[in-house]
């Protein structure tokens, strides 16, 4: 950790009801004594002691008092600092003499050390993706390190505890692949878009019992050689020749005189900092379900789940025998293996056997998005038992659950979770399989609220938003379609607004004001950029927009729904401006808050005059136009707009036409404005277009298109048809907040104050959901029992809640478990 002012958060455990904290005390041994602080806050308490030193472990204790004066025990824990400032990274960048033509070099160094050691840490990063072995063992359980950032301005290093791995005679090896940094990236044929050379930077820091420090830094005394990885690319997969693996190179006295000398890489260290977000790890292992012989005669393994990660396998054979695997998301309508939708991404894995007994392998520096795997070559009989799926993603804590009486809805929820898993591999991506897998800002923005209920994404977004702000500086305040920016993408409404929407969502879900403060300038710059487009400050003038991307009301041949670009742009401009004004007020910038509020009023007034008729209803007769006006509060006549929206939907036989922009808000727009039943009708619909259509078609993730696979088995398109695109999965936000009714308060964020406000329906007999907040677990369930509805609610210590019954009456309560019964009469029909 390089944070100079770490924050402390703790959870209070108690089986009592109405527990509230009245005071706390924090002691960081030898550094800080907070004293007894009379405060009800138990999250984000900022360190206030002496300056923290680098490379140091700090033990600390916390105790609290409740409102009845009961005192807790001291709880003990520790944190450890990292390099803190780049100058403390006492090592040299090293590279090879072949430059980026070098495929996957392995760097090597032998060294001695005295035993026992008190502690030993490796700090490492790279241009590419790296893996470290120490004395023949892999170091750590992180994968695809150092992850994906705006490398030339922000490069994260990782820290590994190797205290127990050291011997008197040691060998360390680092294998380096191209990864996102130097490999192929983007659908426009980009290669090495960051213009980097292969490079590693590593420092092993050993602390002896007497406090003496031994450093083993990367420098020109290291040697390098080709590794057994013949090829590795994020999109294309990996080729590994096990015959080329030199096992003996891990021996201390291995003769590496034929290896080449590493050379110094002239690359800065000033932008290196410790990893903020949770590392990518193997999070689940799944077993395949069947072997399929396709009509074309292909042998295909079905993993039963569209997943992201690797196929791991066991194999025996002769030296030079091969295992060749191709990956796909679906079989086509005839049941044959289908890869056209992967576009130029090869997604192939080849393993060449050493022939030494049973061999085991999975890729290391790439990942695939797949459900089906075609076995193109495999020595011997293909048995399911020899294949496993390793699911990888950022190791985020799971925080949500949802279950109800409708199995299709439960499957949809699971599909949404799988969508998040597959697309949260270090950055929020659009899809994990074709030649994109990029940080599309619009997709990230529409899904973030759902994401923050499913998993704890606070650090994940803290890291990604840092890159957003960095890239923005290079674009004069604009936010491009993709972060980290890899290619010239368009600056579009609904995409760039990730700059304002994402920090606010993290603030609401986790009460993280510091992130809001750190992103405030970026939020402002985004709005200022929009304002500067043209002469009228109340209008976002010109530019190309992605519009209501993939809306079903698109004109033929277009991906853009028919809602006017200007309408969408000005709606988002108004929304982002209101968020900046609110952020300013929360951060104490009252003058700026007033300025942005004034700007917002101007935009909204113009919006109403330009785009609404005399009744306050959008001139544009699209579902998305109405949903935006309602959700962003852009009309004075919500009733008329909701009526117009409902009429449009009903007239077309409950056929939604919204795309990326309208869909996340559609059900909210209806159910917040008197059309609860219609919202449920759309949500529970199983015919195309609907959320449950793909479930009925056998989907195990969320599709990019409502009709990715049509009822007759034909496909939406060959070139842009992802079966793992989470955007429409944003509906889980409606499921948690409206069906189960779990809501944070925007005034007391982080679920300090909770509103339980479910929308009951006769279509479901029970619902149960939970969200694990910073304070602890929140549960909300309801069940129809004859004329009554029974609510089961739990809220964590140090929070309070209001339960709102369907007739508007309320129940107020503090922490604990509760059962409330409400007489529904015949209101549920």
Residue 361 in contact with residue 351, Cβ under 8 Å? Answer: yes
Count of Cβ atoms closer than 10 Å to residue 643 Cβ: 17
Residue 682 in contact with residue 666, Cβ under 8 Å? Answer: yes
User: Considering beta carbons, is residue 202 or 330 the nearer one to ligand BGC?
Assistant: 330
**Rounded CA gap, 377 and 374, in Å?**
9
CB of 431 to ligand BGC, least distance (A): 6
CA triplet 803, 806, 809: central angle to 5 degrees?
55
Give residues in contact with ligand BGC (CB under 6 A). 430-431, 436, 440, 442-443, 481, 546, 549, 725
CB of 345 to ligand BGC, least distance (A): 13
Instruction: Tell me which residue has tokens 């919202």.
Output: 679
Residue 131 in contact with residue 142, Cβ under 8 Å? Answer: no
Helix or strand run (H / E) with residue 566? helix 565-586
User: Considering beta carbons, is residue 204 or 727 the nearer one to ligand BGC?
Assistant: 727
User: Considering beta carbons, is residue 140 or 442 the nearer one to ligand BGC?
Assistant: 442
Contacts of 698 (CB under 8 A, 6+ apart): none
Residue whose C-alpha is closest to residue 223's, from 96, 326, 357 = 96
Instruction: Tell me which residue has tokens 């929140």.
Output: 778
Residue 216 in contact with residue 109, Cβ under 8 Å? Answer: yes
**Rounded CA gap, 439 and 468, in Å?**
10
**Rounded CA gap, 200 and 192, in Å?**
16
CB of 548 to ligand BGC, least distance (A): 10
CB of 443 to ligand BGC, least distance (A): 5
**Rounded CA gap, 67 and 69, in Å?**
5
Helix (H, G, I), strand (E, B) or coil at 813: strand
User: Considering beta carbons, is residue 121 or 560 the nearer one to ligand BGC?
Assistant: 560
User: Considering beta carbons, is residue 512 or 548 the nearer one to ligand BGC?
Assistant: 548
Residue whose C-alpha is closest to residue 475's, from 445, 461, 496, 504 = 496
CB of 547 to ligand BGC, least distance (A): 9
Instruction: Tell me which residue has tokens 């070098």.
Output: 102
User: Considering beta carbons, is residue 321 or 436 the nearer one to ligand BGC?
Assistant: 436
User: Considering beta carbons, is residue 418 or 546 the nearer one to ligand BGC?
Assistant: 546
CB of 441 to ligand BGC, least distance (A): 8
User: Considering beta carbons, is residue 424 or 549 the nearer one to ligand BGC?
Assistant: 549
CB of 567 to ligand BGC, least distance (A): 17
**Rounded CA gap, 216 and 204, in Å?**
5
Helix (H, G, I), strand (E, B) or coil at 683: helix
CB of 435 to ligand BGC, least distance (A): 10
Residue 604 in contact with residue 634, Cβ under 8 Å? Answer: yes
User: Considering beta carbons, is residue 109 or 421 the nearer one to ligand BGC?
Assistant: 421
Longest distance between any two alpha carbons in the chain, whole Å:
86
Residue with the shortest CB distance to ligand BGC: 430
**Rounded CA gap, 640 and 634, in Å?**
13
Token pair for 114: 């005295």
CB of 482 to ligand BGC, least distance (A): 8
CB of 546 to ligand BGC, least distance (A): 4
Helix (H, G, I), strand (E, B) or coil at 93: coil
CB of 580 to ligand BGC, least distance (A): 23
- For the chain, state the CA radius of gyration: 28
User: Considering beta carbons, is residue 442 or 662 the nearer one to ligand BGC?
Assistant: 442
DSSP 8-state symbol, 97: T
Q: Which long-range contacts (CB under 8 A, 24 or more apart) does 635-638 make?
A: 635/608, 636/608, 638/673
User: Considering beta carbons, is residue 217 or 442 the nearer one to ligand BGC?
Assistant: 442
CB of 475 to ligand BGC, least distance (A): 17
**Rounded CA gap, 618 and 602, in Å?**
18
User: Considering beta carbons, is residue 423 or 620 the nearer one to ligand BGC?
Assistant: 423
Strands of 57-104, DSSP E:
57-66, 75-80, 94-95
Residue 134 in contact with residue 170, Cβ under 8 Å? Answer: yes
User: Considering beta carbons, is residue 442 or 749 the nearer one to ligand BGC?
Assistant: 442
Burial 471-489 (b: 16+ CB within 10 A, else e): bbeeeebbbbbbbbbbeeb
Helix or strand run (H / E) with residue 229? strand 229-233
- How many residues are listed for the chain in this entry? 829
Half-sphere exposure of 639 (CA within 13 A, CB side): 0
Residue 109 in contact with residue 185, Cβ under 8 Å? Answer: no
DSSP 8-state symbol, 735: I
Q: Which residues pair with residue 57 across a beta bridge?
A: 80
Token pair for 229: 């990885």
In 587-637, which ranges are continuous DSSP H helix?
Answer: 590-611, 623-631
**Rounded CA gap, 828 and 788, in Å?**
10
Catalytic residues: 436, 704
CB of 436 to ligand BGC, least distance (A): 5
Residue 791 in contact with residue 803, Cβ under 8 Å? Answer: yes
C-alpha distance from residue 243 to each of 108, 134, 174, 248, 351 (Å): 19, 21, 19, 13, 10
Count of Cβ atoms closer than 10 Å to residue 642 Cβ: 24
């Amino acid at each position: 950790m390089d944070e100079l002012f770490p924050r402390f958060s703790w959870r209070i455990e108690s089986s009592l009801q109405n527990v509230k904290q009245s005071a706390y005390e924090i002691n960081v041994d030898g550094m800080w004594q907070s004293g007894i602080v009379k405060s009800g806050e138990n999250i984000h308490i900022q360190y206030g002691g002496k300056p923290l030193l680098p490379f140091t472990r700090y033990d600390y204790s916390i105790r609290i008092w409740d409102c009845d004066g009961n005192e807790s025990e001291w709880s003990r824990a520790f944190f450890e600092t990292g390099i803190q400032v780049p100058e403390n990274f006492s090592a040299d960048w090293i590279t090879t003499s072949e430059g980026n033509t070098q495929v996957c070099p392995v760097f090597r160094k032998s060294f001695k050390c005295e035993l026992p050691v008190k502690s030993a840490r490796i700090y490492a990063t790279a241009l590419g993706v790296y893996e470290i072995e120490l004395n023949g063992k892999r170091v750590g359980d992180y994968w695809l390190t150092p992850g994906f950032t705006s490398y030339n301005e922000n490069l994260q290093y990782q820290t590994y505890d190797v205290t127990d791995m050291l011997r008197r005679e040691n060998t360390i090896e680092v294998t380096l692949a191209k990864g996102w940094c130097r490999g192929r990236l983007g659908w426009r044929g980009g290669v090495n878009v960051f213009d980097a050379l292969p490079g590693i930077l590593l420092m092993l820091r050993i602390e002896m019992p007497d406090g003496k420090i031994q450093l083993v830094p990367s420098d020109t005394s290291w040697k390098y050689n080709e590794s057994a990885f013949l090829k590795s690319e994020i999109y294309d997969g990996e080729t590994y020749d096990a015959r080329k693996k030199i096992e003996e190179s891990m021996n201390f006295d291995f003769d590496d005189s034929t290896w080449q000398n590493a050379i110094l890489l002239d690359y800065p260290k000033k932008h290196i900092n410790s990893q903020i977000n949770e590392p990518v790890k193997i999070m689940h292992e799944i077993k395949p379900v069947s072997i399929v012989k396709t009509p074309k005669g292909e042998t295909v393994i079905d993993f039963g789940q569209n997943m992201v990660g690797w196929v791991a396998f066991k194999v025996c054979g002769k030296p030079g025998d091969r295992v060749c695997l191709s990956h796909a998301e679906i079989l086509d309508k005839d049941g044959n293996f289908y890869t056209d939708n992967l576009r130029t991404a090869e997604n192939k894995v080849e393993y060449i056997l050493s022939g030494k007994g049973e061999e085991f392998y999975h890729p290391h520096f790439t990942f695939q998005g797949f459900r089906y795997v075609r076995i193109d070559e495999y020595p011997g009989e293909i048995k399911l038992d020899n294949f496993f799926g390793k699911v990888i993603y950022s190791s985020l804590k799971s925080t949500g659950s949802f279950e109800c009486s409708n199995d299709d809805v439960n499957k949809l929820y699971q599909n949404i979770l799988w969508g998040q898993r597959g697309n949260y591999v270090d950055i929020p991506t659009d899809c994990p399989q074709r030649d994109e897998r990029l940080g599309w800002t619009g997709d990230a923005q529409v899904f973030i609220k759902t994401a923050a209920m499913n998993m704890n994404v606070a650090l994940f977004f803290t890291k990604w938003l840092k890159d957003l702000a960095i890239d923005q500086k290079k674009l004069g305040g604009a936010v491009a379609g993709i972060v980290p920016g890899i290619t010239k993408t368009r600056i579009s409404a609904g995409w760039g607004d990730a700059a304002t929407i994402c920090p606010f969502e993290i603030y609401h879900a986790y009460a993280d004001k510091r992130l809001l403060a750190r992103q405030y300038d970026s939020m402002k710059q985004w709005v200022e950029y929009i304002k500067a487009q043209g002469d009228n400050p109340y209008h976002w003038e010109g530019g190309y927009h992605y519009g209501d991307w993939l809306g079903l009301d698109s004109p033929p041949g277009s991906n853009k729904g028919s809602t006017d670009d200007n309408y969408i742009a000005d709606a988002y401009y108004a929304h982002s401006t209101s968020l900046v004004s609110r952020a300013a007020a929360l951060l104490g910038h009252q003058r700026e808050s007033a300025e942005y509020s004034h700007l917002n009023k101007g935009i909204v007034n113009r919006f109403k005059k330009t785009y609404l008729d005399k009744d306050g209803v959008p001139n544009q007769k699209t579902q998305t136009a109405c949903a935006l006006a309602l959700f962003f509060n852009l009309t004075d006549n919500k009733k008329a707009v909701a009526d117009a929206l409902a009429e449009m939907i009903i007239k077309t036989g409950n056929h939604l036409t919204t795309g990326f922009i309208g869909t996340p808000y559609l059900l909210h727009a209806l159910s917040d404005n008197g059309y609860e039943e219609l919202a449920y009708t759309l949500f529970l619909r199983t015919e195309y277009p609907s959320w449950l259509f793909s479930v009925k078609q056998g989907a195990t993730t969320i599709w990019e298109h409502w009709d990715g696979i049509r009822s007759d088995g034909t496909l939406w398109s060959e070139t842009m048809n992802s079966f793992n695109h989470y955007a429409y999965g944003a509906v889980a936000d409606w499921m948690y907040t409206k069906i189960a009714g779990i809501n944070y308060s925007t005034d007391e964020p982080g679920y300090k104050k909770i509103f339980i406000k479910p929308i009951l329906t006769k279509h479901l007999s029970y619902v149960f959901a939970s969200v694990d907040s910073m304070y602890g677990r929140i549960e909300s369930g309801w069940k129809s029992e004859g004329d009554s509805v029974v609510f089961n609610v739990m809220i964590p210590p140090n929070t309070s809640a209001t339960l709102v019954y369907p007739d508007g009456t309320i129940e107020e309560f503090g922490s604990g478990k509760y059962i409330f019964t409400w007489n529904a009469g015949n209101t549920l029909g």
